Structures are given as C-alpha cells and as structure tokens.
Amino acid sequence: MFREVRQEKQSLAKEEVDSILERGKYGTLALQGDDEYPYSVPISYIYYNGKIYFHSVPSGHKIDAITANDKVSFSVIDEAKLVPEEYTFYFRSVIAFGKVRIADEEERLEVFHAFTTKYSSPVPEAERRAKVAGCNRVQFYAIEIEHVTGKEAYDLAIQREANKEE
C-alpha cells in the first residue's frame, strides 16, 4: 500500500527518522482539499509518543479537509544545503502517512506541555493548567502514523557509509 524509498542506500534508519521528527520545528501537512485539489499547509508540530501533534482553531480549510478525509501526509525537511557546483541540494527529509484525529482530553495537557517545552520557556504546572483551560478555542490533533520513510541525498548517504568504515 505504501511505497518505500526507491534508492535503498538513501533510506534513513528508524532511529534517524525519529530524531528528525523530534528536532524538527515545522513541517508541511498535505490534505485532500476542495474539489479534490491537494492542500498543503506549513504547521508547527511535536513528535510525541510516536505521534505527530499539531494545534489549530477548530474551523477553516485545514479542518474542513480533515473532516472530509482523515488521511494525510506530513513532511519535514531536516537539512537542505544548496551545492550549486553540483546542481543539487544535500538534503535529509521525512514523510509520514497516517490518519488525523482530535486529541482526547487526557492527551491535551500532556501535548500542551510538550509544545510549551519545545517552543517556549518552562511553565509551572498550575500556570500550564490555567493556560490549557484558557485555550478552549485551540484544538489539538494527532496524526496516527501508519507509514514513515526518511531519505537523504545520495552524497550524504555515501558520506555516512564512509564514516561507518572509519
């Protein structure tokens, strides 16, 4: 059903894929939009407990698309170095496929905490709970990952292999 990276040598190991998802700050959520046109939107996210979480107000194009079809893909570019003399980029990236659902109330506080840990300074527990309670307009969503691949540029793959041999 899902495709693997065609060039096996360029495929990233699960540990590297997880590392890229954990350190990434933003990615692109791809959905089936209006009139079956693709709709792709950049979002901030966290990778937490094997899921990708993001937040949104509970209305708009993105939410309409998710409501109509919960299947999505999500991509993160970890590195993209232009190498003009070679007419290419040295890149590392991840693409995840899965289904989106609204995060349940039990997850909400944990996910909010994980977002604040990643994107801001630490917040005391009582203040965090108050902020979550005050964020009723914001909904958290989880992408339940069904398939994920990571890929790097051929030259980076060669460098990785050379480093292993040293």
Asked whether residue 121 carries a pLDDT value surpassing 80, the answer given is no
Confidence (pLDDT) at 62:
96
Query: At a CB cut-off of 8 Å and minimum separation 6, what does 94 contact?
Result: 12, 17, 20, 21, 24, 75, 76, 78, 148, 149, 150, 151
pLDDT at site 71: 97
pLDDT at 164 over 80: no
| 27, two tokens | 């990615």
What distance in Å separates the CA atoms of residue 116 and residue 111, rounded to the nearest whole number? 9
Domains of the chain: residue spans and CATH:
8-104+138-156 (2.30.110.10)
**Is the pLDDT assigned to residue 4 strictly greater than 90?**
no
70-82 pLDDT tens trace: 999 999 999 888 8
| Nearest Cα to Cα of residue 7 among 162, 158, 118 | 158
Using pLDDT thresholds of 50, 70 and 90, give the confidence band for residue 29.
Answer: very high
User: What average pLDDT score do residues 93-105 get?
Assistant: 95
Percent of the chain residues past pLDDT 70, beyond the cut: 93
**What pTM was estimated for this model as a whole?**
0.86
Question: Is the model more confident about 122 or about 56?
Answer: 56
> Looking at residue 163, what is its pLDDT?
76
**Which pLDDT score is estimated for 86?**
81
